[in-house]
Amino acid sequence: MAGKKRSEREKKERLKEQKREWIRKKREKMTEAEREERRAKDRERYKKKKESGKIKSIKEHTPRMQKAIRKSWRERAKTYRNKIKRLKATEQRIVNEETPPSSPVSQSSRASLGRRVADRNRRRLRIENLHLRQRILHLENLLANKRMKLLRTRPPGNITTNELPEPKLTGRKLKQIEKKEAVRKFFEKDECSRITSGKKETITKHKQKKQIRLLNDTLLNLYEKFKEETKIKMSYALFCRLRPFWVLVPNANKRDTCLCLIHTNMEMMVTALKKAAIIKENSAISLVKSMCCEGYLKSDCLARKCIFCKNKSVSLNKYPNDMVITCERWVTKKIAATIKGQVKLCQKTVKESFSSKCDVFVKLFLEEKLPKFTKHLLNIISQHRVLTKLKSDLAADEALLHMDFSENYNCKYSAEVQSAHFGASKPQISLHTSVLYLRGTDKNCIQSFCSLSKDLRHDPVLICAHLKPIIEHIKCKVPNLRTMHFQSDGPTSQYRNKSMFFLIAKYLSKELGACNITWNFSEAGHGKGAPDGIGGCVKRTADAFVATGGDIPDFDALVNCLQEKCQGITILPIDDTHIESISNILSTSTTRPFNGTLSIHQITWNETSPDILHARRLSCSVCEANQICSHYEIGLIYLTYKQEVDYIPGLRRGSPQSECDIYENPIASTSRKYVDFYKKCYGSDSSSDEEIFTRKQTPLRENVMSPKSSRGILQNLSNNTSSDEENIF
Q: Does 477 share its domain with 579? A: yes
452 in any annotated domain? yes
Chosen domain end from 574, 589, 604: 589
Strand bridging mode 516-521 / 483-488: parallel
706 in any annotated domain? no
pTM of the model: 0.56
The lowest-confidence range among 65-69, 148-152, 238-242 is: 148-152
What's the confidence (pLDDT) of residue 167? 56
What's the confidence (pLDDT) of residue 692? 36
What's the confidence (pLDDT) of residue 307? 84
CATH (domain of 544) = 3.30.420
Phi, psi at 92, each rounded to 5°: -65, -40
Average pLDDT taken over every residue of the chain:
78
What's the confidence (pLDDT) of residue 682? 38
* Mean pLDDT in residue range 713-726: 34
CA 510 to chain centre: 34
pLDDT by residue (tens digit) across 315-338? Answer: 888 888 788 888 888 888 888 888
Greatest mean pLDDT among 46-50, 251-255, 290-294, 669-673 lies in 46-50
Q: Does 577 share its domain with 436? A: yes
* Mean pLDDT in residue range 527-554: 85
Q: Can you tell me the distance from the alpha carbon of 20 to that of 43, in angstroms, rounded to the nearest whole number?
A: 19
What's the confidence (pLDDT) of residue 191? 77
Q: Does 400 share its domain with 540? A: yes
Q: Does 336 share its domain with 417? A: no
Q: Does 375 share its domain with 405? A: no
Beta bridge partners of 195: 213
Asked whether the predicted pLDDT for residue 489 surpasses 60, the reply is yes
If DSSP states are collapsed to H, E and C, what string results for 229-248?
HHCCCCCHHHHHHCCCCCEE
352: left (phi over 0), alpha (psi -120 to 50) or beta: beta
Asked whether the predicted pLDDT for residue 707 surpasses 90, the reply is no
pLDDT by residue (tens digit) across 408-425? Answer: 888 888 877 777 767 566
Q: Does 425 share its domain with 572? A: yes
What's the confidence (pLDDT) of residue 253? 54
Inter-axis angle of helices 370-392 and 261-275, to 10 degrees?
A: 130
What's the confidence (pLDDT) of residue 318? 84
What's the confidence (pLDDT) of residue 75? 93
pLDDT-derived band at 720 (thresholds 50, 70, 90) equals very low
What's the confidence (pLDDT) of residue 415? 79
Beta strands in 64-212 (DSSP E): 193-195, 202-205, 208-211
75 in any annotated domain? no
pLDDT by residue (tens digit) across 238-270? Answer: 999 999 999 988 765 555 566 788 888 888 888
What's the confidence (pLDDT) of residue 77? 94
Instruction: Specify the higher pLDDT residue, 658 or 219.
Output: 219
178 in any annotated domain? yes
What's the confidence (pLDDT) of residue 533? 85
Q: Does 441 share its domain with 323? A: no
Q: Can you tell me the distance from the alpha carbon of 447 to that of 440, in angstroms, rounded to the nearest whole number?
A: 12
- Taking a C-beta distance cutoff of 8 angstroms, is the pair 693, 635 a contact? no
What's the confidence (pLDDT) of residue 69? 92
What's the confidence (pLDDT) of residue 575? 83
Q: Does 353 share its domain with 404? A: no
Kindly list the distances between the CA atom of residue 535 and the CA atoms of 248, 270, 450, in Å, as whole numbers in the listed order: 20, 35, 8
pLDDT-derived band at 433 (thresholds 50, 70, 90) equals very high
**DSSP classification of residue 162:** G
Strand bridging mode 428-437 / 398-410: antiparallel
Asked whether the predicted pLDDT for residue 105 surpasses 60, the reply is no
Asked whether the predicted pLDDT for residue 511 surpasses 50, the reply is yes
In the three-class reduction of DSSP (H, G, I as helix; E, B as strand; rest coil), residue 326 is classed as strand
pLDDT-derived band at 694 (thresholds 50, 70, 90) equals very low
542 in any annotated domain? yes
211 in any annotated domain? yes
Instruction: Specify the higher pLDDT residue, 425 or 445.
Output: 445
Q: Does 434 share its domain with 410? A: yes
Q: Does 536 share its domain with 576? A: yes
What's the confidence (pLDDT) of residue 112? 78
Range of the domain at 301: 261-379
pLDDT by residue (tens digit) across 607-659? Answer: 888 888 999 988 888 888 888 888 888 888 888 888 643 333 333 333 333 33
Helix (H) and strand (E) counts in the chain: 23, 16
Q: Can you tell me the distance from the alpha carbon of 227 to that of 230, in angstroms, rounded to the nearest whole number?
A: 6
- Listed residue (513, 470, 520) closest to 607, CA to CA: 513
Q: Can you tell me the distance from the alpha carbon of 430 to that of 411, in angstroms, rounded to the nearest whole number?
A: 11
Chosen domain end from 218, 248, 278: 248
Share of the chain above pLDDT 70, in %: 80
388 in any annotated domain? no
695 in any annotated domain? no
- Taking a C-beta distance cutoff of 8 angstroms, is the pair 242, 232 a contact? no
Q: Does 408 share its domain with 513? A: yes
Chosen domain end from 216, 248, 280: 248
Q: Does 265 share its domain with 364? A: yes
pLDDT by residue (tens digit) across 545-593? Answer: 888 888 888 888 899 899 888 888 899 998 888 888 888 888 888 888 8
Q: How many separate domains does the chain show?
A: 3
